Amino acid sequence: MDSLARLIEADAVRRLVDRDPTLFSSDVDLRQPIMQRLGWTDLAERAESRLTLVENLAVAVAQEGATDIVLLGMGGSSLAPLVMEQVIGSAPGAPALHVLDTTSPAAVRALRDSLTRNTTFFILSSKSGTTIEPLSLYAIFRAWMEEEMERPAAGKHFIAITDPGSPLEKMRAREFMRVALSAPPTVGGRFSALSVFGLAPAAMSGIDVRRMVVFAREMEDSCHSPAEDNPAAALAAWIVDSHAMGRDKLTLATSRRYEAFGLWVEQLVAESTGKQGTGVIPVLDYEPTTPTGYGQDRALLVLRETQDAVLARFADGARAEGHPVHEILLDEPLGIGAEFVRWEHAVALAGHLLGINPFDEPNVAKAKAATNAVLAGTARVPSANADLDGIWTTYAGALEGAAAPHDLSTSLAPLVASLQLGDYLGVLAYLPSDSPAVSMLKHALEKLSSRLKVAVCFETGPMYLHSTGQLHKGGPDSGAFLLITTRERANLAIPGSTFTLAQLFRAQAEGDLVTLAATGRRVMRLDLPSDDLHSIQAIAEALISALS
């Protein structure tokens, strides 16, 4: 029986709309936790009641001269606003939206130095109200604002978004923050695009949230239709049927305007399905030209504008080579609201078909605990086994015990040699995402992927810890991981903390190394003296050399 027939037989769409937890688990103890994560199924309909609030807030800060809005968030609280900003963009004359979802001191300092205090407003987003990254960034920017403002005046430049009753909501009054916007407590972070987590930053940057919600409402109605005529059910069935054929690498190819949407899909798919040893592995293909370098583990999702002839030919070529292809056409940028709805429903239905609970993320918590242990000095971090002209190499997990390399060219050999058909290489880079050196590294990885017919997933830390990190540890043991870190000299103090931002940045990488190794994954670390072009070029050349 194919997946669509299974959805029909299980009456899955109706049960999802009715928030029936037994759709995802027969365990009595899990029913209540699952029910507490199903509040998103009618979020587009309910979003209309929040629009006046966020629009009034947008008008107020604009009248106060706002030129920049900085969102301090991570994972589910930051990715949807990032998509809206990059796909739709700030309206002319509206404040520019900056999504700060990193703990890199260099990136934080660069943004801070570009801002003007009196005309900058901050959104502190955290569902739990305890997320370490946005709270650390808040402490840094709050102290910066107070260098030139009295405490109450500085507080008016900060807006909190969190669950009712969270520590952050309680902190708002003490910190004289402007307001705390309450998010629905029954909506998990990665399903929260159409809650205030997404709508408030979008409205404050001048995006027409009302029109975006109209598209979302139309899609929500369609996603509540019988499975036979339901776009989410069709997408879920295609994903799971492809997975059943061994095509578990969901490769997203998008028109350039919609590239950022892939990051949101990546988190939704990876964190929802990557557990219990199973998982759909999202792969972002930013420059699709020909599918000839793809292995037989690929399924192609093409999101394109109608006039994108290059991507249309790519889709046709993929079909001709026998790859499953699912196309979505999107010509109205505000229509991205509909895609949030389609994918949320599809991934939930896919979770049912795969026999997993798509709403938890158990391995994310383990990585957070490991980061805290590194900061406390109680973690056993795998040590380097070679110093190659200042680049320290470490083999850990399933690669532990590999012979110490004599040079960088051969250091990658154990990792590359471990890759088999059906595997994927995850490159976990704690580097500035906009660095020219990153493009050089990605180019080398494209060659590796094409030569070996192995999918490569390039991830930027620490953002991926709240995204694909769950899949890396909880999903299938088909991933091999290259962790790239730097002994970054830039630093910023975090007021009120016992550690600096650079220490947090490094601890997050090392906490992930500890967790991956404990899970028995194949993992290698390259620790560079800096993120300069020369060091990254050396790694790129070593990757190509490892193929010969």
pLDDT tens digits for range 47-77: 989 999 999 999 999 999 999 999 999 988 8
pLDDT (mean) for 531-537: 85
pLDDT at 530 (0 to 100): 87
Q: Are 516 and 523 in contact (CB under 8 A)?
A: yes
What pLDDT score does 380 carry? Answer: 95
Angstrom distance (rounded) from CA 250 to CA 265: 10
DSSP string of 35-90, one letter each residue: HTT-TTTTHHHHHHHHHHHHHHHHHHHHHTT--EEEEE--GGGTHHHHHHHHHT-P
Q: Which runs of consecutive H residues, i.e. helices, occur in 355-500?
A: 362-376, 408-411, 413-417, 436-452, 469-474
Angle (CA) 454-102-373 rounded to 5° is 90
Dihedral sign computed on CA atoms, order 360, 363, 364, 365: positive
pLDDT on residue 290: 64
**Average pLDDT of span 499-524:** 97
Residue 300 CA from chain centroid, whole number = 19
Q: What φ, ψ does residue 104 adopt, rounded to 5°?
A: -65, 120
Q: To the nearest whole percent, how much of the chain has pLDDT over 70?
A: 99
**Per-chain mean pLDDT for the chain:** 95
pLDDT tens per residue, range 77-104: 899 999 999 999 999 999 999 999 999 9
The answer for 257, left when phi > 0, alpha when psi is -120 to 50, beta otherwise, is alpha
Q: By C-alpha distance, which of 63, 98, 126 is closest to 201? A: 98
**H helical segments located in 405-532:** 408-411, 413-417, 436-452, 469-474, 501-518
Report the distance separating Cα 228 and Cα 490, nearest Å: 56
Domains of the chain: 3-24+227-354 (3.40.50.10490), 43-207 (3.40.50.10490), 362-545 (3.40.50.10490)
Residue of 469, 441, 445, 467 lying closest to 455 (CA atoms): 445
> Which residues touch 27 (CB under 8 Å, ≥6 apart)?
none
99 bridge partner residues: 71
Rounded CA gap, 54 and 35, in Å? 27
User: What's the rounded mean pLDDT across residues 249-269?
Assistant: 96
Q: What is the pTM of this model?
A: 0.96
On the question of pLDDT at 534 being above 90, the answer is no
Phi, psi of 303 (to 5 degrees): -110, 110
Angle formed at CA 275 by CA 273 and CA 277, multiple of 5 degrees = 115
CA angle 206–211–216, rounded 5-degree value: 120
In angstroms, the first-to-last Cα distance of the chain is 45
Nearest-angstrom CA–CA distance, 102 and 357: 28
d(CA 69, CA 157) in angstroms, rounded, equals: 10
One-letter amino acid of 229: D
How does residue 289 score in pLDDT terms, banded at 50, 70 and 90?
A: low
Q: What is the pLDDT of residue 439?
A: 85
Q: Inform me whether the pLDDT recorded for 535 exceeds 90.
A: no
pLDDT at 72: 98
**CB count in 10 Å sphere of residue 226:** 12
For the stretch 141-149, contacts whose Cβ atoms lie closer than 8 Å and that sit 24 or more positions apart, written own/partner, are 141/70, 141/72, 141/112, 142/175, 142/495, 143/495, 144/112, 144/117, 145/117, 147/117, 148/117, 149/117
SS3 377: coil
φ/ψ bin of 496: left (φ > 0), alpha (ψ from -120 to 50), beta (otherwise): left
By C-alpha distance, which of 139, 126, 131 is closest to 180?
Answer: 126
Contact call for residues 503 and 477 (beta carbons, < 8 A) = no
Q: CA-CA distance, 199 to 181, in Å (whole number)?
A: 11
pLDDT for res 255? 94
CA distance 289 to 508: 35
- Per the DSSP assignment, residues forming a β-bridge with 98 are 70
Reported as type and span, the H/E element at residue 180 is strand 179-182
Rounded CA-CA distance 41/63 in Å is 35
What pLDDT is stored for residue 285 in this prediction?
A: 86
Contact 15, 23 (CB under 8 A): yes
Q: Give the pLDDT confidence score for residue 545 in this predicted structure.
A: 84
**Of 379, 375, 380, 364, whose CA–CA distance to 494 is shortest?**
375
In tens, the pLDDT along 436-478 reads: 778 889 889 988 998 999 999 999 999 999 999 999 999 999 9
Which of 165, 511, 197 minimizes the C-alpha distance to 364? 511
Structure tokens at 256: 């350039």
Which residue type sits at 12? Answer: A
Strands of the sheet containing 479-486, edge to edge, are 386-388, 391-397, 522-528, 479-486, 424-429, 455-460
